[in-house]
Structure 1
Amino acid sequence: MAKLLMGVTSSISLQLLRGQLEYFSKQGYDIHLICSPSGEIDRMLPENITVHNVRMTREIAPFSDLLSLLRIIMIYLKVRPDITNVSTPKASLLCMIAAFLTRTPMRIYSVIGLRFETCTGKKRKLLHFIEKLVCKLSTTCLAVSSSLKEVLVEERLAPREKIHVLGSGSYNGLDLAEFQLDVVEVAHLKKQYSPDNRRKVIGYVGRLTKDKGIDDLVAAFTELSEEHENLKLLLVGDFEEGDMVSPLTEKRIEEHPDIIKTGFVPKTASYYRLMDVFILPTYREGFGNVILEAAAANVPVITTNVTGAKDAIIPNETGLLVEAGHVADMKKALMTLLEDTDLADKFSRNGRMRVGREFRSEIIWHQLDSVYRETEVDKQDVYEMEK
Structure 2
Amino acid sequence: MKKIAFITASPMTVKAFLLPFIKEIEKSYEIHVISNWHGDEDFLPANVKMIRIQIQREPSIFDDLVSLIKLVGILKVEKYDIVHTFTPKAGFIGQIAAWLSRVELRFHTFTGQVWATQTGFKRFLLKSLDKLTASFTTSVLVDSPSQQSFLIKNKIVTAVKSGVLGKGSISGVNLSKFQFSQEKRDNIRAELQLKDGEFVFLYAGRLKKDKGIPELLSAYRNVAKKVSAVLVIVGADEDGLLSEVNHTDGVIFCGFTDDIVAYFSAADLLCLPSHREGFGNVVIEAAACGLPTLASLIYGLSDAIVDNETGVLHQVEDAADIEEKMLNLCQNKELLKRMSERALKRVHSEFSERLIVDEFIKFYEHEQSRLSQ
TM-score range with shorter-chain normalisation? over 0.9
How far the C-alpha of 1:18 sits from its partner, in A, is 4.1
1:200-232 deviation line (CA, Å, top 9, x unaligned): 11001111112211121112112222343x221
My pick for the range that moved more, 33-42 or 197-206, is 33-42
Instruction: Say whether the 8 Å CA contact 1:116–1:123 is kept in structure 2.
Output: yes
Which residue identity does 1:5 align to in structure 2?
A: A
Give the Cα separation in 2 of the matches to 1:64 and 1:339. Answer: 53
Q: Which residue does 2:100 correspond to in 1?
A: 101
- Distance across 2 between alignment mates of 1:96 and 1:258: 47
- Secondary structure, in 3 states, of the residue corresponding to 2:62? helix
The answer for unaligned runs of 5 or more in structure 2 is: none
- The question of whether the paired residues in 1 share the 8 Å contact of 2:200 and 2:267 is answered with yes
CA deviations over 1:290-327 (Å, ceiling 9, x no partner)? 11011111112111110111110111111111110111
The corresponding residue for 1:154 is 153
For 1:232, the equivalent position in structure 2 comes to 230
Structure 1, unpaired ranges of 5+: 382-387
Match of 2:347 in 1: 355
CA contact (8 A) 2:184 2:265 kept: no
Q: What corresponds to 1:167 in structure 2?
A: 166
Distance of 2:102 and 2:336 partners within structure 1? 52
1-structure distance, mates of 2:269, 2:89: 34
Between stretches 12-21 and 334-343, larger displacement belongs to 12-21
Aligned twin of 2:305: 313
What does 1:27-66 align with in structure 2 at a 5 Å threshold?
A: 28-39=28-39, 41-42=41-42, 44-66=43-65
Structure 1 residue matching 2:255: 3-state secondary structure? coil
Tell me what 2:9 maps to: 9
What amino acid sits opposite 2:50 in the alignment?
A: V
In the alignment, the residues of structure 2 paired with residue 274 and residue 40 of structure 1 have an alpha-carbon distance, to the nearest angstrom, of 32
Tell me the CA shift for residue 169 of structure 1.
Answer: 0.7
Q: Secondary structure of the equivalent of 2:361? A: helix
Give the TM-score normalised by structure 2.
0.94
Alignment of 1:178-197 (within 5 A): 178-197=177-196
Specify the alignment match of 1:253 in structure 2.
245
Shift of 1:262: 2.3
Q: Following the alignment from structure 2 to structure 1, what is the Cα–Cα distance between the partners of residues 303 and 53? A: 34
CA distance in structure 2 between the aligned counterparts of 1:149 and 1:298, rounded to whole angstroms: 28
SS at match of 2:26: helix
Q: CA deviation at 1:364?
A: 0.9
Q: Does 1:212 align with 2:211?
A: yes
Once residues 192 and 280 of structure 1 are traced to their aligned partners in structure 2, the CA distance between those partners, rounded to angstroms, is 24
Return the alpha-carbon distance in structure 1 between the equivalents of residues 118 and 178 of structure 2: 35
Q: Which residue of 2 aligns with 1:84?
A: 83
Q: Post-superposition shift, 1:78?
A: 2.5
SS of corresponding position for 2:168: coil
Return the alpha-carbon distance in structure 2 between the equivalents of residues 266 and 19 of structure 1.
Answer: 18
* Corresponding letter in the other structure for 1:9: A
Counterpart CA distance in 2 for 1:188 and 1:79 is 50
Task: Indicate conservation of the 8 Å contact 1:105/1:378, yes or no.
Answer: no
Alignment of 1:237-386 (within 5 A): 237-240=235-238, 244=239, 249-376=241-368
Q: Which residue of 1 aligns with 2:133?
A: 134
Query: Would the aligned equivalents of 2:290 and 2:341 in 1 still touch at CA under 8 Å?
Result: yes
The 1:197/1:252 distance shift into structure 2, 3 A limit, reads farther
* Deviation of 1:339 (Å): 1.1
Q: CA, structure 1 residues 183+340, in 2 after alignment: closer, same or farther (shift >3 Å)?
A: closer
Count of residue pairs the alignment pairs up: 372
* Residues 184, 266 of structure 2: 8 Å contact kept: no
Amino acid at match of 1:78: V
Cα–Cα, structure 1 residues 6 and 148, in superposed 2: closer, same or farther, change >3 Å?
same
